Structure 1
Amino acid sequence: MKPARRRWMLACPEKPRNARDVMDLVLRSRGLGPDVFPPIDLALLERYLPLRGMEEAAHVTARHIVRGSGILIVGDYDCDGITSAAQLDLFLRDIGHENRRVAIPRRAEGYGVPLRAVEAAEDCRLLVALDCGTLDREAVTAARRKGMDVVVIDHHEVILDRLAPATVLVNPKHPDCPSPFKEFCSAGLTLLFLTRLRRALNGTHGHVPLDGRYLSLAGVGTIADMVPLTGGNRILAGAGLKALNGSAHMPLAQLQKAAGLEKRPVRAGEVAYHMAPRLNAAGRMGDPARAFDLLTAEDPEAARRLAEELGRLNARRQKDVTRILDDIRGRIQEGASGRRTVVLDDPSWNPGLVGIVATKVQQELLYGPVVLLGADHPDAPVFRGSVRSIPGYDVHHALSLCSDLLVQWGGHKMAAGVTLEPDRVEVFARRFEEVAQQAEPDLFVPRGRIDLELAPDLVDRDLYEALLTLEPYGVGNPAPIFLARNVPLEGLRTFGKQGAHLALRDVRSGVPAVYWNGAASWASKGPGGGPRPADVVFRIEWDDYRRCPRLNVVDLFPEGIPLQQSPPPPF
Structure 2
Amino acid sequence: MQDELPELIKKIFAKKNITDDQEIFRFLHPKLETLPHPLKMKGMQQAVECIVKGVEEGDDIVIWGDYDVDGTTATSLLVNFFRKLGIEPYWHIPNRLTDGYGLNTEVFEQLKSTHSIDNFLLITVDCGISNSKEVAEILELGGKVIVTDHHQLPLGDLPGCVILNPNQDGCDFASEKLAGVGVAFYLAAAVRSELEKHGYFRENEKPNLKDYLGFVALGTVSDLVEITETNRILVRAGMEALPNSSIPGLRYLLESAGLYGSLLTSEDIGFSIGPRINAAGRLGTADVAVELMTCDNHTSGSDLAKKLESYNERRKSICSDNLETALTLIQRGNLAEKSAIVVAGDFHPGVIGIVASKIVDVYRKPTVVFAEEGENESTSYKGSGRSVEGIDLLGCLHNCSHLLGKYGGHAMAAGLSIAANNIKSFREEMSRHVELEKMNILQGAQGNTLNIECNLDEVMSGNAIDYLMKLEPFGPENEKPIFTDPKAQVISCKAIGGLGQHLQLIVRGKYTNYRAIGFGLGERISEVKKQPERSITFTPMMNRFRGSVEWQLRIIEI
TM-score bracket relative to the smaller structure: 0.7 to 0.9
Distance in 2 between the 1:427 and 1:543 partners?
43
Distance in 2 between the 1:379 and 1:93 partners?
50
State the Cα distance separating 1:78 from its structure 2 match.
Answer: 0.7
455 and 368 in structure 1: CA distance in 2 versus 1, 3 angstrom threshold: closer
The answer to whether 1:95 aligns with 2:85 is yes
439 and 22 in structure 1: CA distance in 2 versus 1, 3 angstrom threshold: closer
- 8 Å contact from structure 2 (residues 15, 450) kept in 1: no
Q: What is the match of residue 123 of structure 2?
A: 128
Q: Kindly indicate which of the two structures has a greater share of residues assigned to helix.
A: 2
In structure 1, the gaps of 5 or more residues are: 1-15, 557-571
State the Cα distance separating 1:176 from its structure 2 match.
Answer: 1.4
Q: What is the match of residue 304 of structure 1?
A: 302
552 and 92 in structure 1: CA distance in 2 versus 1, 3 angstrom threshold: closer
The answer to whether 1:339 aligns with 2:329 is no
344 and 485 in structure 1: CA distance in 2 versus 1, 3 angstrom threshold: closer
Q: Secondary structure at the match of 1:306?
A: helix
State the Cα distance separating 1:73 from its structure 2 match.
Answer: 0.9
Give the TM-score of the pair, scaled to structure 1: 0.83
- 8 Å contact from structure 1 (residues 19, 462) kept in 2: no
Q: Secondary structure at the match of 2:382?
A: strand
State the Cα distance separating 1:366 from its structure 2 match.
Answer: 7.0
Q: Percent identity?
A: 26
The answer to whether 1:271 aligns with 2:260 is no
| CA deviation vs aligned residue, 1:102-123 (integer Å, no higher than 9, x gap) | 1111113222112224323352
Aligned length: 533
Q: Secondary structure at the match of 1:485?
A: strand
Q: What is the match of residue 538 of structure 1?
A: 538
Q: What is the match of residue 472 of structure 1?
A: 473
Distance in 2 between the 1:457 and 1:431 partners?
45
**Which deviates the most, 122-131 or 359-368?**
359-368
Q: What is the match of residue 21 of structure 1?
A: 7
Give the TM-score of the pair, scaled to structure 2: 0.85
Distance in 2 between the 1:450 and 1:413 partners?
19
Q: What is the match of residue 313 of structure 2?
A: 315
490 and 440 in structure 1: CA distance in 2 versus 1, 3 angstrom threshold: closer
Q: Secondary structure at the match of 2:538?
A: strand
Q: What is the match of residue 157 of structure 2?
A: 163
The answer to whether 1:204 aligns with 2:200 is yes
- 8 Å contact from structure 1 (residues 541, 551) kept in 2: yes
Q: Secondary structure at the match of 2:176?
A: coil
547 and 148 in structure 1: CA distance in 2 versus 1, 3 angstrom threshold: closer
State the Cα distance separating 1:192 from its structure 2 match.
Answer: 1.3
Where does 1:318-467 land on structure 2 (aligned, <5 Å)? 318-336=316-334, 338-346=337-345, 348-365=346-363, 367-375=365-373, 382-422=380-420, 424-426=422-424, 428-429=426-427, 432=430, 436=434, 449-458=449-458, 459-467=460-468
The answer to whether 1:505 aligns with 2:523 is no
The answer to whether 1:111 aligns with 2:101 is yes
Distance in 2 between the 1:392 and 1:185 partners?
19
Which of 38, 41, 54 lines up with 1:51 in the alignment? Answer: 41
State the Cα distance separating 1:140 from its structure 2 match.
Answer: 0.8
Q: AA paired with 2:504?
A: H
Q: AA paired with 1:94?
A: K
- 8 Å contact from structure 2 (residues 67, 94) kept in 1: yes
In structure 2, the gaps of 5 or more residues are: none
410 and 519 in structure 1: CA distance in 2 versus 1, 3 angstrom threshold: closer
| CA deviation vs aligned residue, 1:385-413 (integer Å, no higher than 9, x gap) | 21223334333233334445544222223
Kindly report the root-mean-square deviation, in angstroms, between the aligned alpha carbons of the 2 structures. Answer: 3.4
Q: AA paired with 2:449?
A: R
Q: AA paired with 1:22?
A: L
- 8 Å contact from structure 2 (residues 538, 556) kept in 1: yes
Q: What is the match of residue 225 of structure 2?
A: 227
Q: AA paired with 1:461?
A: G
Q: What is the match of residue 179 of structure 2?
A: 185
Distance in 2 between the 1:197 and 1:443 partners?
42
450 and 513 in structure 1: CA distance in 2 versus 1, 3 angstrom threshold: farther
- 8 Å contact from structure 1 (residues 483, 535) kept in 2: yes
Q: What is the match of residue 524 of structure 1?
A: 527
| CA deviation vs aligned residue, 1:523-571 (integer Å, no higher than 9, x gap) | 414637xxx5433323235688999865544323xxxxxxxxxxxxxxx
- 8 Å contact from structure 1 (residues 339, 433) kept in 2: yes
- 8 Å contact from structure 2 (residues 366, 393) kept in 1: no
Distance in 2 between the 1:409 and 1:173 partners?
17
- 8 Å contact from structure 2 (residues 166, 177) kept in 1: yes
State the Cα distance separating 1:51 from its structure 2 match.
Answer: 1.2
Q: What is the match of residue 37 of structure 1?
A: 27
Distance in 1 between the 2:424 and 2:537 partners?
41
Q: AA paired with 1:217?
A: F
- 8 Å contact from structure 2 (residues 280, 308) kept in 1: yes
**Which deviates the most, 186-195 or 514-523?**
514-523
